[in-house]
Amino acid sequence: MKYTEMSAEQLKAEQECLSRKLDEYRNMKLCLNMARGKPGVDQLDLSMSMLDVMHSEVDYTDETGFDCRNYGKMDGIPSMKKMFAKMMQVSPEQVMVGGNSSLNMMFDTVAAFMYKSPVEGEKPWMEVKDRKFLCPVPGYDRHFGITEYFGFDMIPIPLNEDGPDMDLVEQLVSQNASVKGIWCIPKYSNPTGITYSDETVRRFARLKPKAKDFRIFWDDAYCIHDLTDTPDSLLSLMDECKKEGSEELPIVFASTSKITFPGSGVAALAAAGKNFDMLMEKYKYQTISFDKLNMLRHAKFFVNFDGVMDHMRKHRELLSPKFDLVVQKLEDSLKETGVISWNKPNGGYFVSVDVMQGTAKKVVQYCKEAGVELTGAGATYPYGKDPRDCNIRIAPSYPPIGELDTAMDVFCVAAKLAAAEKLMEE
């Protein structure tokens, strides 16, 4: 029965029953974690043989004969440039393969624009006192952390099923020269799992920003992370920009963090024209070169892009039962309440749940008391403030499936209890 249709007595009975269940969980002294999108141990095991492809007898040169043990090749070895170009839907010469983290490259890119503009006549962002960044919500807390660190006013943009509200994006970008960028996770977005529609990608390519140094930070972290037989497809922003003559709008990012080893994988960015030149120039001062033995290790392990896709199918086999379980539990337990909704993603790392408005913090707290850790309520919004206090990001990948099962039972009880209590107050 829908919670909104329950009488006061029915709600009270429901609340008492849920409260007892939560107490039972509290007494179980659980220690479960659905907080961060980390690959499970079984997923990490998939890449262990990569550690064997490099040994003292191995050919340590890349396909051009370059000795990967030494300094040089600032933009990365050709095989990895090609591999990332396929992943990011750009051409290999636009790719710069970097270190172990794409987030690090995003931070560095914002830092570069803070200090120096690639566009003649534009001030470095540091000198733009009222600088602003558009933040589709719900979104990725660490993106928001970067722009908060660099002193941007962050403007939340509603994220719909087909991408950010493009009417609002176009209006803000075309009218306000202090709007300098937007964070985008175009495929299997973190946390809602949506993929931008073709029309959304085309509208991004057609943007006419007032600020000539406005940039689209296109974080394609989940570009090949499918979970179903009906994967989403994403149009290449770089191709669309080429058609529109706006190739300097996007900077694309990706990494193998959720393909091989997070923190020990390989990251890359792709950019065109002056963007690429400016970033390469900056990296020249920042480092003498990145870890090419790790690039070579990845290249040897995968052999080619088909090898990467085969590997992703193995991840999918391990991950999709976990996502199925989470969605099934939500359907079985929360659908009847009529006040809680969620997404069923075709890929990526998260399930985004909108609990009853005004209860997300309480749900996270109840889960914590019962030994289940979730991403903090509000984390998916700039400054950690969800104005409706309703969005919670569930990360099913890390816990073994048995633990996930129990953690989801706790979550469902907590979400229902908080909703019943809220309705009783009202």
Binding site for ligand PLP (CB under 6 A): 37, 101-103, 140, 185, 190, 219, 221, 255, 257, 262, 267
Q: Which is nearer to ligand PLP, 26 or 36 (CB)?
A: 36
- Cβ nearer to ligand PLP, comparing 65 with 263: 263
Of the pair 145, 231, the CB lying nearest ligand PLP is at 145
Q: Residues with Cβ < 8 Å from 331, sequence gap 6 or more?
A: none
- Compare residues 118 and 191 and give the one whose CB is closer to ligand PLP: 191
40/262 with CB nearer ligand PLP: 262
Minimum distance from CB of 244 to ligand PLP (Å)?
25
Tell me the two tokens of residue 156: 């939340």
Q: For ligand PLP, which is the closer residue by CB, 78 or 186?
A: 186
- Could you give the count of Cα atoms lying within 13 Å of 304 in the half-sphere of its Cβ? 1
C-beta of 89 vs 359, nearer to ligand PLP = 89
Q: Exposure pattern of 47-77 as b/e (b: 16+ CB <10 Å)?
A: beebeeebeeeeebebeeebebeeeebbbbb
In the complex, minimum distance from the CB of residue 347 to ligand PLP, in angstroms, rounded to a whole number: 12
Other beta carbons within 10 Å of 327: 18
155 membership: H or E segment, kind and range: strand 153-160
- Smallest gap from residue 34 Cβ to ligand PLP (A): 14
Q: Tell me how far the alpha carbon of residue 402 is from its chain's centroid.
A: 25
Task: Tell me which amino acid residue 172 is.
Answer: L
User: What 3-state DSSP class applies to 351?
Assistant: strand
| H/E stretch holding 183 | strand 179-184
What DSSP letter does each residue of 45-76 carry, written as one string?
Answer: HTTGGGGGS--TTS--B-TT--BTTSS--TT-
The C-alpha atoms of residue 379 and residue 282 are separated, in whole angstroms, by: 31
Shortest Cβ distance from residue 290 to ligand PLP (Å)?
13
Shortest separation between residue 9's beta carbon and ligand PLP, angstroms: 45
CB closer to ligand PLP out of 186 and 378: 186
- Least Å distance, CB 37 to ligand PLP, is 5
Long-range contact pairs involving 144-150 (C-beta distance under 8 Å, separation at least 24): 144/183, 144/381, 144/382, 144/383, 146/103, 146/106, 146/107, 146/110, 147/110, 147/181, 147/183, 147/382, 148/382, 148/383, 150/110, 150/111, 150/114, 150/125
State in angstroms the smallest separation of the CB of 192 from ligand PLP.
12
* Min dist. Cβ of residue 105 to ligand PLP (A): 8
